[in-house]
Amino acid sequence: MNFFQNLALKYSHTMMQKALNNNLKVELLKEPQAKIAKEKSYMLYAHIPFCHTFCPYCSFHKYYYDENLAKNYFESLREELKIIKNKGFDFNAMYVGGGTTLIDEEELLKTLELCKKLFNIKEISCESDPNHIDPKKLSMFKGLIDRLSCGIQSFDDETLKKVARYHKFGSSEVLQEKISKALGILPIFSIDLIFNLPTQSKEQLLNDLRIAKKLSPQQITTYPLMKSNLTKDNIAKSLGVSFKDNEFEFYQIICEFFKDYTQNNAWSFSLEKNKLNDEYVSSHHEYLGVGSGAFSFLDGELLINAFNLNTYTTLIKEKQNANIAKAHFSQKERLKYVFLTEIFSGSIELTHFNHTLKCDLEKELFIELKALKICGAIYKEGDILRASKFGKYLFMVLMKDFYTGMDLVRAVFRDDARLKNKDFIDIMREDVDPLNAQNMEFKA
């Protein structure tokens, strides 16, 4: 990187942190806020908060799997879907995240079948771990799941041992065998890898990429390691501490290695172009989240569902929305967010963007776009803004910053196992007066 690119990277990182700190003002709600359906195209997000194993780099909302707890949860999830349907919402796409989404195949099957019955969903993406890609189990979801991403993270045995995945999911050889048998059952199978792990060598990275490419899944997604206050200590304990940041060098290696692939976005590659990839926010400006700990982004507001399973279940039984908090964003901050999610995919069609957001992007973000052009991150071709080679890396970093920044919200609401059965307000802050909780504001 040249001087201006280095400067742009540091400045953009600082500005992202400042924007998150200033705008993620989470307000507790006295009662769930109504979610109002409008004449818009929405995506449905469903969260499955259960795992058998907790990985040190994962900050997502999750519980250790219990069969009875999970079945009760799925029943509540299906009730929430019916509530959302009765409010007039419809969806054209669905993303199921976690946790481990396929942790209870029978319950997930019933849930996805209900979604197809209630809504006009044309495509469904799900996540999984290597223990839930058995061909017989995956065959249950033919005609339902269109894209399945499997979190492999690494094919290096020593790395797998350090993050407690070797004994749980198998060695590199076992993982390759599992993937080979799973390919071809569902339309799109994605291998997910993490790069820039502490002490990861260039050769280890290249070995991961070679194996992934040799297996020939429809998609390969390469996430940069994301560290936040929720994960940095666990990462250091399991993987050690790196004194050199290889992220930019490794990203260049990845892009060069997959130059014969189609790049869906800054960190995803496909054998052929497909709109179904890991980052649903790039193609869906507004989405509604169902399930414990799910986020919704509607009309410039971030709505947060109850994290505590008892609170979530109680709200659904009372036929209410499950959201317990919200954060509001200004029009300019909303434009910045949508701009990032779209340019992350490589380009923005200005006329369509302005029509959809009812704005003039080049006017309202004039200074920001000018700076990005000066450092060579974006350039304009007719009506299209495109990300340069450097720009793709810059926007990858900003997207990483955005996701780690969302841990500011998760940190407030994440349940402590010792407090599972307490009221959600007590979980967040033991000295809160429940009568005044609706006026509370959490500023990171």
- For the stretch 201-212, pLDDT in tens is 999 999 999 999
Q: How far is CA 136 from CA 142, 181, 186, in A?
A: 11, 10, 12
Fold of domain 331-404: Arc Repressor Mutant, subunit A (1.10.10)
Higher-pLDDT residue of 262 and 7 is 262
Fold of domain 41-282: TIM Barrel (3.20.20)
- The pLDDT assigned to 426 comes to 39
Q: Which band of pLDDT confidence, cut at 50, 70 and 90, is reported for residue 190?
A: very high
Q: Indicate the domain borders of the chain.
A: 41-282, 331-404
Instruction: Identify the bridge partners of residue 188 per DSSP, sorted by sequence position.
Output: 147
* CB-CB contact of 51 with 62 (8 Å): yes
- For the entire predicted model, the pTM comes to 0.87
- pLDDT tens string 356-372: 889 999 999 999 999 99
Q: Where are the beta strands (DSSP E) in 146-300?
A: 147-153, 188-195, 219-224, 262-265, 268-270, 287-290, 295-298
* CB-CB contact of 181 with 216 (8 Å): no
DSSP state of 327: E
